[in-house]
């Protein structure tokens, strides 16, 4: 733990407090072999833990983050202006109660927040992997999660919890290791993307790939970054994470009051909002990581990849009625395929005005469902 005078006292109430991100090397006994057969000779994973592990090591809960998340899921970093991305769910007395559970949150392989990814140095050259970083599969994310658990000496999980892409990782993990996870909570997740979902991601990737500063992925060598393409990708993706109702209630048709003339440049408040979302994203994310983390979602189809697996895991599924990126039909597909294999599974649709991003917020009843399912 670190000490800090930057985070306000009231914000720490009910929080896990001040935390630090740690790193573990997972390749001390050999390279990490990916689903493609490619090998990574040096893999570090960034992670955080909250709460205390019992002597029996039977209270561990693994949290899997969504596309642009990181290991910092709860509490405060020294000098930070905001807490971890799931701080409203994780903490003493919260749905993921750190007075009961030992919570582990890790940054994804291929990311840009401490875990090995395209911007990490390649041991063979000493330079960043850049475009030479190997393509990833959902199974590779899970391989790193498993390696981290082994590093921490945890053989079995009380639960694994994830929203969006995080829920997809949990599903893959439960099918890969059907006896290792007691409970799985999948929130606003999917087991196979629709054609529309793939289309949205294709446009986002095209914005990056066709940015003049992309340079075939070697932009770092040119001292630039495909900022415009990454900004557009984030702006478009963000629209799919919220609902039409929430945008209308927040912005309506409000315009910039600095002028009355119609213009081609940003004018409506919602345009300025998306510009801000795109600009702020550039400060924390790498374009190649965005490409590497979105692509595995397109190919994900675990019930085909693991056709005969019957996990002992109990599944709790949550969807939101206003989520049009991964609507309730996605959760029902997971429910029906698990039930057909005789797996214990429950599903609840929660009423929420906030669209896909509801999994990060607190619509009525949502956190109670998670709390109840964790037992």
Instruction: Mark the binding-site residues, compressed into ranges.
Output: 234, 357
Q: Sign (positive/negative) of CA torsion 236, 242, 243, 245?
A: negative
CB 150 within 8 A of CB 179: no
Q: How far apart are CA 207 and CA 214, in angstroms?
A: 10
Non-local (6+) Cβ contacts of 273 within 8 A are 250, 251
Q: How many Å separate Cα 298 from the centre of its chain?
A: 15
CB distance 92 to 102 below 8 Å: no
Distance of alpha carbon 369 from alpha carbon 246, whole angstroms: 23
Annotated active-site residue 298? The verdict is no
44-50 and 102-106 strand pairing: antiparallel
Is 306 assigned a catalytic role?
no
The conformational region for residue 252 under phi > 0 = left, psi -120 to 50 = alpha, else beta, is: left
Long-range contacts from 21-26, C-beta under 8 angstroms, 24+ separation: 21/46, 21/47, 21/48, 21/71, 21/72, 21/77, 21/114, 22/46, 22/47, 22/48, 22/49, 23/47, 23/114, 24/148, 24/151, 24/152, 26/144, 26/147, 26/148, 26/151
For residue 236, the tally of other CB atoms under 10 A from its CB is: 16
Q: Which of 201, 323, 352, 358 is catalytic?
A: 323
Clarify whether 164 is annotated catalytic. Answer: yes
Q: Extract the annotated binding site for substrate.
A: 234, 357
Choosing from 164, 191, 225, 289, which is the catalytic residue? Answer: 164
Question: One of 330, 352, 356, 358 is an active-site residue; which one?
Answer: 356
Task: Tell me which residues are annotated as active site.
Answer: 164, 323, 356
């Amino acid at each position: 733990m670190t000490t800090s005078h930057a985070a306000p006292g009231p914000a720490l109430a009910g929080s896990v407090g001040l935390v630090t991100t740690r790193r573990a090397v997972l390749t001390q006994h050999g390279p990490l072999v990916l689903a493609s057969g490619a090998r990574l000779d040096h893999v570090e994973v960034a992670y955080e833990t909250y709460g205390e592990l019992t002597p029996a090591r039977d209270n561990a809960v693994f949290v899997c983050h969504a596309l642009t998340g990181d290991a910092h899921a709860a509490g405060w970093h020294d000098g930070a202006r905001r807490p971890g991305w799931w701080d409203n769910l994780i903490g003493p007395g919260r749905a993921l109660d750190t007075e009961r559970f030992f919570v582990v949150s890790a940054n994804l392989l291929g990311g840009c927040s401490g875990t090995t990814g395209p911007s990490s140095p390649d041991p063979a050259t000493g330079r960043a992997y850049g475009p030479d970083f190997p393509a990833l599969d959902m199974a590779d994310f899970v391989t790193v999660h498993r390696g981290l658990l082994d590093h921490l000496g945890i053989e079995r999980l009380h639960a694994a919890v994830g929203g969006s892409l995080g829920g997809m990782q949990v599903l893959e993990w439960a099918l890969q290791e059907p006896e290792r996870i007691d409970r799985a909570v999948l929130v606003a997740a999917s087991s196979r993307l629709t054609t529309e979902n793939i289309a949205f991601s294709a446009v986002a990737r095209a914005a990056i790939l066709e940015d003049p500063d992309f340079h075939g992925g070697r932009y770092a060598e040119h001292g630039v970054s495909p900022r415009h393409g990454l900004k557009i990708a984030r702006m478009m993706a963000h629209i799919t994470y919220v609902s039409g109702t929430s945008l209308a209630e927040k912005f309506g048709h409000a315009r910039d009051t600095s002028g009355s003339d119609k213009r081609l440049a940003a004018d409506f408040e919602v345009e300025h909002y998306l510009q801000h979302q795109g600009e702020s994203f550039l400060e924390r994310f790498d374009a190649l990581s965005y490409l590497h983390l979105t692509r595995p979602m397109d190919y994900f189809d675990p019930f085909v990849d693991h056709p005969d697996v019957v996990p002992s895991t109990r599944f709790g599924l949550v969807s939101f009625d206003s989520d049009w990126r991964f609507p309730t039909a996605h959760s029902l597909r997971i429910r029906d395929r698990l039930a057909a294999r005789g797996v214990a599974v429950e599903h609840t649709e929660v009423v929420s005005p906030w669209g896909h991003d509801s999994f990060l917020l607190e619509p009525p009843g949502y956190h109670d469902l998670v709390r109840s399912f964790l037992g």
